[in-house]
Amino acid sequence: MKRQRTRRAAQRAAHALLLLAFAAAGADAADSGVEPVRACMEKNLPATSAKQEIVLESSDASGSQKLEAELFWRRAAEKNGRQQVLVRVEQPADLRGSAFLLLEREGGYDLFSYLPELQKVRRLTGRAISGSLFGTDFSYEDFERVQSGVAGSGAERLPDADVAGRPVWVVAVTPPADAGSAYQRVVSFVDRETCVALRIDFESEPGRLAKQLLADPAEVRAVAGRYVPHALVLSDAGQDTRTTLAVRKVDFDVPLSPSLFSEAALAKGH
Instruction: Write out the chain's pLDDT in tens, 270 residues.
Output: 444 444 444 434 433 444 444 444 444 444 558 999 988 998 888 889 999 999 988 877 677 788 899 989 998 887 778 888 898 989 988 888 888 888 888 877 788 888 888 888 988 765 555 555 566 556 556 656 665 556 555 789 999 999 999 999 999 988 776 666 777 888 999 999 999 999 999 898 888 998 899 999 999 999 999 999 999 898 888 777 888 889 999 999 999 999 999 988 887 765
Where b means 16+ CB within 10 Å and e means fewer, 73-100 reads bbbbeebeebbbbbbbbbeeeebbbbbb
CATH 2.40.50.140 fits 2-268, yes or no: no
- Quote the crossing angle between the two packed helices 140-148 and 2-21, to the nearest 10°: 10
Residue 212 · residue 228 · CB < 8 Å = no
Q: What is the DSSP string of 204-244?
A: EETTEEEEEEEE-GGGEEEETTEEEE-EEEEEETTTTEEEE
What is this structure's pTM?
0.78
Annotated domain spans of the chain:
2-268
